[in-house]
Structure 1
Amino acid sequence: MKKIISIYILLSFSFAYPVTLNELIDLAEKNSPVLKEKALDIKIKEVKKKQIHKKKFGEIHLFGSFNRFEDPRILYPITPPIDPRNLVGAKNQFITGISYSVPIFTGFEIEKNTEISILAKRVKEIEYLLTKNQLIYNIKSIYLKILSLQKQKKALISYKQSLIELYKNIQESVKVGKKPEVDLLKVDYQIESVEAEIEKVKNSIYALKSALKTIIGKKDINLSVIEDVRLTELDNFNRTQLLKNINSLDTLKQATLSEEISEKKVKIAQGKYLPKIYFTASAQRNMGNSEYKDLWQVGFIVEYTFFDFGRRKHEYIQSKLELKKAKLQKKTLRLKIIQKIDEALSEIKTAISKIKASEKQLLFAKEVEKIEKAKYEEGVSDLYDYLLAKSQRFLAESSYYQAIYEKESAISYLQYILEEFKNE
């Protein structure tokens, strides 16, 4: 039974379905709590827009009251001609009715707030796309780190296997007296060191995979096997052309929308110096002593704040300062984007140079390893030189793969700055 279970587990790992980067991105778009939160923000702003827009239609109120007076009071206002015999009074009086008021002019406050709500919704829509862009970049960045570490792990395992083979060969030589027994201890020490390094890399891979699951928003993904990415062949990027295209970036569009919102807030602050006009209408029934009287009225209300101890003035000053701040933030943001593009281009160039250097180092390291192996087998050099050559070859191989994925990461970073992931 144990044998069957072992075979099943072995087959499960052998035939595990490799997960691709695109599949993980698709899962993230469906499951990421961050994206869901941003989608809700858009809906909230849509509701807010409708809420503000409805203010221009006014409000309908139902009202009612009960009063008990010390003496009978008339049920309704007296109008000429006055006949005391027709006056109806009651100590206990009930009043019920309905009223309607609608703003005719509010200093453009409702109109501007409606426009702001439309812009605010657009800001949230852009924020959703930028969050998606950030999410995909984070996934890709972690994915590439995992691939790089897996290559390092593979190289370490290969290195360990070669050390085990070396240990066996030295063991045979020790038996016939060709090599000293201390050489076995040297190789054994090196094997232990490599095993510790393999464990370290495994733990790093595990931590990165856990982080990847958290970002995607799905913990039950099988990441035991992940498919390698197709390496980008394009090595040259035209900086001048890239800088020409930054005006179309949503990051700057978002800053422009924030500036427009600040401009409209200035208009709202200015409008508070204007009067407000409302249309009102009401109908009510006054009741008491089994008598009642129906009353109605329509009219206009004009409100004007004559003096507010400088409150409106300071609101206006604040809105102007916030507008100035929004303009400066847009300018700063543009400069930061240019800076990030330059950083990404520099990282790409550095990675390309590192790949070329690592290729040469790997060739040299392999050649040196062959030479040191032959010298050790012939007894010309010490085992230390051979082990050093083997470790240098591993370091060169590890550095080569690291440089390859660093280049991919640098290109991904540039794509992230240029917002190329938001439409995936």
Structure 2
Amino acid sequence: MKLFFLALITLGICFAQDGLSLENAITKVKANNQEIAIAKFDEQIKTLEHQAAVGQNYGSLDLSQAALRSNDALNIFGYKLQSRQATFADFGFKQFSGSNYMLAPNDLNNPSDRNHFQTKIEYTLPLYTGGKIEQYGKITKALQEMSTLDREALTLEKIYELKKSFFAISLLDNYLYNLHIIATNTTKLEATTEAMMQEGYVKKVDLLEVQSKQADVERLIKQAEANRTLLYYFISYLVGEPVTAIQGNYEEAETLLSSDERVLNDNLDIKKAAQGVEISKMNIALQESAFLPQVGAFANYGSSDEKLMNDFSKNDAYTVGLQIKLNIFNGGTDKNNLEKARVEHLKASQQLQLAKNSIALSFKQIQTQIQSHEYEIQSLKKEVELAHLIYENYAGRYAEKITSINEVLMKQSEELTKVLRLKEVQNARNEKIFELQKLASKEIQ
């Protein structure tokens, strides 16, 4: 029967060659995972925000077209002046005489309705902003880089989940193999017990105990198969396509060999904290710009007329100028904002140091846990082998009527417990190795 299961496992491995390898799965996660796709959009948004901030250095060019109609005296007079069409008659001079200088000029006060079309192009350029625009550009660039780190951290998290699933499936397959062997042995024991009962050597209760144990083993097999199916669903979710088989054997992950200094240099959380410190420095410079003058230049050119685009060059006009603005008092708002930026910088510096200390501690803790799991795995492998031999010995003695069925089943339970514990510790070791790889920002080992 053992040869049958060995052949079954070998056949499964052959079919698994058509399954998905871990390396290909990682590639698919990067390309298809929806969470990573959303993170890429966030990264693209931050890039566009940076480009928008940099664009402020080049000023703005605006084209405007006004179309107006009015009989308001002030507006009409202004329209005619803008169109270079004002005459003395517009002042009411045709009604003026030396004896009636107190007479209200009707042409001036009650003009006829008039259309007014004004076309104007205007360019404004910030010449000096105290470093405000420059710091906006630097901050948005840093936020863009921060979004890249966020995407990379999310990618590492998805790869971490993927590795755990691949290795868990391999360990489940091995666990199922052992469970099937135990089920086969229990079936043999059941046949032996049934034969002995017919000969009157044992009672029916012995047979029922064996059958109960067989049902328990079958339950564990069904649970393991259900967990394996769930893991395949999860892998399918991660890679963005259906996966029903994996390629390769993933039972024991390779231990990560990396120095503390290397981990601290590569860790993404530390990089993000360091980026936060740089952003807080830039924010201090940004708030300091509020105490410096703002200098800008502008130039506009346009034409106005009673008719749209009529004789543009005849009625054209231009204006150029500079503007200097300096805030003198605003209730202490700028001062408080600057102090807030300085406090945030101190906070960010402490967060960076905390991240370094925390990552260094986690690195040591995980290394210690991995070593502990490895020692336990070595011991459990020997215990599983020994438990199986003891069970076979007791099963043989039971067939020779030397021992009871209770002792045989007890030894089988001990073997099953050891097999389950070995799987749990192997899983725990693999997960810790993957956590270590995530701390060191390693995708695959």
2:433 is aligned with 1:400: no
Task: Name which of structure 1's ranges 253-262 and 34-43 shifts more when overlaid on structure 2.
Answer: 34-43
2:25 maps to 24
Pair 1:13–1:130, CA change in 2 (3 A): closer
User: Does the aligned pair in 1 maintain the 2:120–2:300 contact within 8 Å?
Assistant: yes
Answer whether contact 1:90 1:288 (CA < 8 A) is retained: no
Is 1:255 aligned to residue 273 of structure 2? yes
Partner of 1:333: 355
* CA shift for structure 1 position 234: 5.2
Aligned twin of 1:389: 411
Which residue, 226, 250, 269 being the options, matches 1:203?
226
The equivalent of 1:313 in structure 2 is 335
Q: Secondary structure at the match of 1:64?
A: strand
Q: 1:245 deviation in Å?
A: 4.5
Query: Secondary structure in 2 aligned to 1:73?
Result: helix
Alignment match of 1:285 (pick from 303, 307, 314): 303
1:99 is matched with 122
Question: 1:264 and 2:285 equivalent?
Answer: no
- Cα deviation, residue 77, structure 1: 6.6
Counterpart-to-counterpart distance in 2, 1:64 and 1:266: 41
* Alignment map for 1:290-309 (pairs within 5 Å): 293-309=315-331
Structure showing greater radius of gyration is: 2
Structure 2 gaps, min length 5: 1-10, 92-107
Deviation at 1:325, TM superposition (A): 1.8
List per-residue Cα deviations over 1:155-188 (Å, max 9, x = no partner): 2222111111111122222222233222211111
Aligned residue number for residue 124 of structure 1: 147
The match for 1:157 is: 180
1:229 counterpart residue number: 250
SS at match of 1:179: coil
Where 2:81 maps in the other structure, the secondary structure is: coil
Contact 1:283 1:297 in 2 (8 A): yes
Deviation at 1:261, TM superposition (A): 1.1
Which amino acid in 2 is paired with 1:198? I
Match of 1:6 in 2: none
Q: Which moved more, 1:411-420 or 1:146-155?
A: 146-155
Task: Give the residue type in structure 2 aligned to 1:285.
Answer: S
- AA partner of residue 177 (structure 2): K
Check conservation: 1:76, 1:286, Cα contact below 8 A. no
Relative to 1, partners in 2 of residues 1:12 and 1:352: Cα closer, same or farther, differing over 3 Å? Answer: closer
In structure 1, the residue matched to 2:157 is 134
Q: In structure 1, what is the equivalent of residue 375 of structure 2?
A: 353
Letter in 1 for 2:26: I
Task: Decide which of 73, 81, 102 is 1:76's aligned counterpart.
Answer: 81
Helix, strand or coil at the partner of 2:428: helix
Q: Distance in 2 between matches of 1:175 and 1:115?
A: 89
Q: Matched residue of 1:272: which SS?
A: helix
Change (3 A) 1:14 1:331: closer
Query: Does the Cα contact within 8 Å between 1:61 and 1:98 map onto a contact in 2?
Result: yes
When structure 1 is superposed on structure 2, of 326-335 and 151-160 the one drifting more is: 151-160
Q: Which residue of 1 aligns with 2:8?
A: none
Residues 217-258 of structure 1: per-residue CA shift (max 9 Å, x gap) = 22x2223x55312745659x57xx324641343432222122
Q: Tell me the CA shift for residue 12 of structure 1.
A: 11
Give RMSD over aligned pairs. 2.9
C-alpha distance in structure 1 between counterparts of 2:283 and 2:432, whole Å:
41
Residues 312-362 of structure 1 deviation map (CA, whole Å, 9 limit, x = unaligned): 122212222221221121111112111210221122111111112202322
Give me the whole-angstrom Cα distance separating, in 1, the residues matched to 2:338 and 2:316. Answer: 46
Matched position secondary structure for 2:238: helix
CA contact (8 A) 1:20 1:228 kept: no
Which stretch of the first structure deviates more once superposed, 226-235 or 84-93?
84-93
The CA deviation at 1:386 is: 0.3
The answer on whether the counterparts of 1:35 and 1:128 sit within 8 Å (CA) in structure 2 is yes
1:147 shift after superposition: 2.1
Tell me the TM-score normalized by structure 2.
0.83
- Partner in structure 2 of residue 418 of structure 1: 440
Q: Which residue of the partner structure matches residue 323 of structure 1?
A: 345
Contact 1:76/1:293, CA 8 A, preserved across alignment: no
More displaced 10-residue stretch of structure 1: 325-334 or 354-363: 354-363
* Unmatched segments (≥5 aa) in structure 1: 1-10
| Separation of aligned partners in 2, 1:279 and 1:24 | 57
Match for 1:395: what amino acid? Answer: T
